[in-house]
Amino acid sequence: MDLIAGGTESSAVTVEWAISELLKKPEVIAKATEELDRVIGRGRWVTEKDIPQLPYVDAIVKETMRLHPVAPLLVPRLAREDATVAGYDIPAGTRVLVSVWSIGRDPALWESPEAFMPERFLGSKLDVKGQDYELLPFGSGRRMCPGYSLGLKVIQVSLANLLHGFTWSLPNGMTKEELNMEEIFGLSTPRKFPLEAVVKPKLPAHLYAEA
């Protein structure tokens, strides 16, 4: 049960952050819509098999996980032997917290780190599979998230379908500058205020009846 709850919560939190970032950047929604219309067309939903053909949606997911890693400090580690890291002595037995939240916003690693720019991942080999230390939303090494492949697919397909099947806008009267992006710092770093948005279907009506 914990496994199912953990995996579902992480994916839902990530998708909610993605939509929040997109509501602040209508031009990113427009680009994603262009990709979805071209690759999928308006006659069907997106499936897992389509994901390799949707590099822009993939870039949106990576950019969301860079700015909003679900586990901002991963899981605590324990140094098993004395070590020196960047000039600091770490004695054996030290509890080590890796702040992937800070790494994802480090200006030495990322250009305009505070900006939501999926384009930075287009044509880049950077991935979220624990090999590229700039981007570790699933951690790395032997304690890396064993559910990363499932989690990633769930996020990609859910987000793609939410963008493909609906137009998105903010509630009446709210500007994109007013959309609050505070987070609750904790185990899964969700939004402080749940997202409210207005959705309208944009595919043929019979597709919603089946879904």
Among 19, 60, 71, 103, binds ligand HEM (CB under 6 A): 71
Tokens describing residue 112: 């305009």
Residues 164/40, Cβ–Cβ less than 8 Å: yes
Tokens describing residue 178: 């007013």
188 near ligand HEM, rule: CB under 6 A: no
101 near ligand HEM, rule: CB under 6 A: no
Does 145 appear as a known binding residue? yes
Question: How are beta strands 166-169 and 198-201 bridged, if at all?
Answer: antiparallel
Closest approach of ligand HEM to the CB of residue 98, in Å:
7
Site for ligand HEM in 111-150 (CB under 6 A): 137-140, 143-147, 150
Tokens describing residue 103: 């790494």
Residue number, 137 or 165, with CB nearest to ligand HEM:
137
How far from the centroid of its chain's Cα atoms is residue 180's Cα? 18
Which residues have C-beta within 8 Å of that of residue 93, sequence separation ≥ 6? Answer: 78, 79
Residues that bind ligand HEM (CB under 6 A): 3, 6-7, 10-11, 14, 70-71, 74-75, 137-140, 143-147, 150-151, 155
